[in-house]
Amino acid sequence: MDLSMTLDYTQDVVARLPGIRDLEAAGLDALWVQEGYSFDAVSAIGFLAAHTTRVRLGTAILNVYSRSPALLAMTAAGCDQLSGGRFCLGLGASGPQVVEGFHGVPYERPLARIRETIDVCRTVWRREPLSYQGRSVVVPLPAGSGTGQGVPLKLVNRPRRADIPVYWAALGDLSVAAAAETADGWLPFFFVPERAGQAFGAPLARGTALRDPALGPLDVVASVDVAVGDGLDTEELLRPARERIALYAGGMGSRTSNFYHTLACRMGWEKEAGLMQDLFLAGKRAEAAAAVPADWLALGNLVGPEGHVAERLAAFAAAGVTTLDIRVVGGADPVRTVDTLRRLM
């Protein structure tokens, strides 16, 4: 498995640069930059492209509404050029709270929007004139819309790669199947090896059956909290993961529109997910966090002695994970943690 790390919304990329360079030297394979309604991820990618030489750089994620599909293609081509062919375009739908509430764009047909955005990106990277008639994306504007002067155009520059890797942050059955069919990589939000089959197995199989062999195997990127050692206070080290699960499965979005809550139910934790949501939406965040299943925390992360972590690494690999995105918790040295995981793998 490859190893990656993610810079979250709050982290200062400039301040973290020395540590990032150390991680690159230690063999970290990829670095992802988040973008919600924070500073944009693209400027950070440009900065990192200028100050690193080997590590892959990706967005996790850019939503497909606030930038046009053609602009996403232009941006990816520019990032790939600046990084010397190290860029990965991570895309997702985000949610109506961000898309409509922050960007003022209707949150419509998210599945079609992502599929068609990927089609447009690949057309642009091949430098073909862009003419696309989809359910969500129509380029150029049809007769009767705008001035009527739009014509199919192709990208002026020649991209470094016409096959920039595209990663899809997919949660629902239909979107997971579509990611397995069309994307180079998949970014699941929650991944527990022992529950992955019931949560994702069927849609992954459907999508894989339709996948173009030219795309190669799907890169499955699972996020985990990591702390390796004897005598660790696992309850304290897993507290951030507990609070994160409660936030997303309990309070992200609304009671009627929470993709993460739905995923928790698909993984078999319907009762616990309902309790988390009731408590979180009632303002009882600590109680919601306490309701997170202990086995979710233990099986979905790498916290414990080396023997335990080695077993969990094997479980993730057996479940089809090809890249582990690690969050080092407990103040451990990230470089040493990468070295330890390499040795255990």
Q: Which of 282, 286, 260 is nearest to 273 (CA)?
A: 260
Regarding beta strands 2-7 and 138-139, do their DSSP bridges make them parallel or antiparallel, or are they unpaired?
unpaired
Reduced DSSP (H G I as helix, E B as strand, rest coil) percent helix, strand, coil of the chain, to 5? 45, 15, 40
Cβ-based burial of 307 (10 A; exposed 0-12, middle 13-18, buried ≥19)? exposed
Let me know: does 264 contact 273? Beta carbons within 8 Å: yes
List the pLDDT tens digit at each of the 345 positions of the chain: 999 999 988 889 999 999 999 999 999 999 999 999 999 999 999 999 999 999 999 999 999 999 999 999 999 999 999 999 999 999 999 988 899 999 999 999 999 999 999 999 999 999 999 999 999 999 999 988 999 999 999 999 999 999 999 999 999 999 999 999 999 999 998 999 999 999 999 999 999 999 999 999 999 999 999 999 999 999 999 999 999 999 999 998 778 878 899 999 999 999 999 999 999 999 999 999 999 999 999 999 999 999 999 999 999 999 999 999 999 999 999 999 999 999 999
Q: Which of 295, 189, 200 is nearest to 249 (CA)?
A: 189
Assessment of whether the complete model's pTM goes beyond 0.85: yes
Let me know: does 327 contact 5? Beta carbons within 8 Å: yes
Catalogue the long-range contacts made by 134-142 (C-beta closer than 8 Å, 24 or more residues apart).
135/109, 136/108, 136/109, 136/112, 137/69, 137/113, 139/69, 139/70
